[in-house]
Amino acid sequence: MKVTSFEDLIAWQKARELRRHVYRASANRPFYRDFEMRDQIRGAALSVMSNIAEGFERNRIPEFLYFLRVAKASCGEVRSELYAAFDEGYIPETALRPLLNQATEVCRILRGLERSLTAKLSTRHSAPGT
């Protein structure tokens, strides 16, 4: 299947799902009352999917790679904030594990996409006549 829009990317689809689950987890008491932590983790989760979309729409591999790296960093931020939310008693361990697994999967997919694009870029630059 040819990717024609960011919505076609599995990385974006999984990031969208992660954002949805993070928003739901942070909507419960007492998490939603900690405005700073709630807004921080929601912003990071939204940043993952948004940076994938923005990078794709730049239509240039080097720029897309930059935004994928930003998305991956935001994904790491989500994981870190999930631990903080757990430490504060905002989410139970039964909710923590699936969210961490989701975030880790998104990071893994982003890393794979980054490797693939880096290889494509280096092949294009090393091809004769380019």
pLDDT tens column, 31-53: 999 999 999 999 999 999 999 99
Residue 2 lies in a domain: no
Tell me the pTM: 0.90
**For residue 92, what is the enclosing H or E element?**
none
Residue 67 lies in a domain: yes
What is the CA angle 37-41-44, rounded to 5?
140
Residue 127 lies in a domain: no
Domain count, the chain: 1
Residue 23 lies in a domain: yes
Q: Which amino acid makes up residue 88?
A: E
- The parent domain of residue 89 ranges over 7-120
What is the CA angle 47-8-96, rounded to 5?
45
At 82-117, the pLDDT tens digits run 999 999 999 999 999 999 999 999 999 999 999 999
Distance, CA of 126 to CA of 130 (rounded, Å): 7
Residue 129 lies in a domain: no
The helix/strand/coil state of 63 is helix
Residue 125 lies in a domain: no
Residue 70 lies in a domain: yes
User: What CATH number is attached to the domain comprising 37?
Assistant: 1.20.1440.60
